[in-house]
């Protein structure tokens, strides 16, 4: 029998938020559908910030859960650590904008400080799929 997949969910879990229930349910559904054993662990944002790279490397994947967060400022420090990992990282909810802001800042892609990310101006429930790939200039 193969080992169970281990997923770390970074977020300030609160049982009163539907998005947090949906996160758990989606992982349960995926495990059942794919017929695999899956273990997932919620890690508070402030606790994740205190961890080092080996802590995250014990997981097969990282999910940065949708908020709200007790202190979203801490996510930028966590993102710096996640940039260095060679495991999949999945972002959902409002942390995606914070992640893109961190990428722009870390790579000095906006030296003049223009507003690069606007609020969602699309009415309704229309979403576009976006993929971010690291680019290494050699």
Every domain of the chain and the residues it spans: 5-106
Cα 2-87-21 angle, rounded to 5 deg: 80
Stretch 85-108: mean pLDDT = 84
pLDDT at 1: 41
Q: What percent of the chain has pLDDT over 70?
A: 83
The rounded distance, in Å, linking the Cα atoms of 59 and 105 is 27
Q: What is the number of H-type helices and E-type strands within the chain?
A: 5, 4
- 8 Å CB contact between 40 and 9: yes
67/32: higher pLDDT: 32
- 8 Å CB contact between 42 and 12: no
Can you say how many angstroms the Cα of residue 104 is from the centroid of all Cα atoms in its chain?
A: 16
The rounded distance, in Å, linking the Cα atoms of 79 and 98 is 9
| Res. 135 pLDDT band, cuts 50 70 90 | low
Stretch 118-125: mean pLDDT = 59
Summarize pLDDT for 6-22 with one digit per residue, the tens: 999 999 998 888 889 89
Q: Does domain 5-106 have CATH number 3.40.50.880?
A: yes
21/97: higher pLDDT: 21
| Res. 117 pLDDT band, cuts 50 70 90 | low
pLDDT at 98: 82
The rounded distance, in Å, linking the Cα atoms of 6 and 71 is 25
pLDDT at 38: 94
The segment with the largest mean pLDDT, out of 7-16, 79-88, 119-128, is 7-16
pLDDT at 75: 86
**Secondary structure letter of residue 125 according to DSSP:** S
| Res. 77 pLDDT band, cuts 50 70 90 | confident
């Amino acid at each position: 029998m193969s080992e169970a997949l281990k997923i770390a969910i970074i977020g300030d879990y609160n049982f009163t938020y539907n998005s947090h229930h949906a996160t758990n349910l989606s992982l349960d559904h995926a495990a059942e559908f794919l017929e695999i054993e899956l273990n997932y662990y919620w890690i508070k944002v402030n606790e994740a910030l205190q961890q080092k790279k080996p802590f995250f490397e014990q997981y097969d994947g990282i999910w940065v859960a949708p908020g709200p967060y007790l202190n979203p400022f801490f996510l930028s420090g966590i993102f710096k650590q996640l940039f260095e990992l060679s495991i999949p990282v999945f972002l959902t909810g409002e942390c995606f904008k914070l992640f893109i802001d961190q990428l722009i800042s870390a790579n000095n892609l906006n030296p003049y400080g223009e507003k690069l990310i606007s609020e969602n101006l699309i009415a309704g429930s229309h979403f576009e799929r976006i993929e971010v790939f690291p680019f290494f200039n050699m």
